[in-house]
Amino acid sequence: MTQRLNYIQQSPELFKAYLNFSNAIDGGAIERSLLDLVSIRASQLNGCAFCLDMHVKEAKLHGERELRVYHVAIWRESTLFSPRERAVLEWTETLTQLPPHGVPDDVYERVRAQLSEKELSDLTFAVMGINGWNRANVAFRTVPGSADKAFGLDKAGLE
């Protein structure tokens, strides 16, 4: 895979603003372990190799169990996720692949049963955030692992 262009160099002001947005999400109501699941699942659905590679490594550095990372793609069938985690993954999938008529009421009610209004709002911004990163990295074919040293991801020991 060859990167088409470096959007960070081409639009540094916009990159910095979007990075600030993402950093604000990290300080919100959704715990880090859930944000890792959101980033992994959205990146899988969007086919974003760069982001999937990055977030799997981050999850490992944050202490996530390897088998759970493998099971994110099959979360509905897996017994490794709590009801709260399942709700987060369902919301991530629904917002990443919006149905033609919007978010169904039953999905909203299931997710709302597990999250406060503040958490649901913050989760929505987290899904928006990773979907934006996915789109930029897919569009410009950012090479997986190309920023490992810069982000300290080489310490994950995944190669």
The model carries a pTM of: 0.95
pLDDT of residue 42: 98
Structure confidence at residue 73 as a pLDDT band (50, 70, 90)? very high
Measured distance CA(43)–CA(54) in Å, rounded: 10
Alpha helices for 27-116 (secondary structure H): 32-46, 49-61, 66-71, 83-96, 105-112
Considering only CA atoms, which of 64, 40, 57, 56 is closest in space to residue 134?
A: 40
Measured distance CA(131)–CA(114) in Å, rounded: 22
Mean pLDDT along residues 87-102: 98
Tens digits of residue pLDDT in 98-114: 999 999 999 999 999 99
CATH of domain 26-145: 1.20.1290.10
Q: What residues does each domain of the chain span?
A: 26-145
Q: Report whether pLDDT(17) > 90.
A: yes
Q: Report whether pLDDT(159) > 80.
A: no
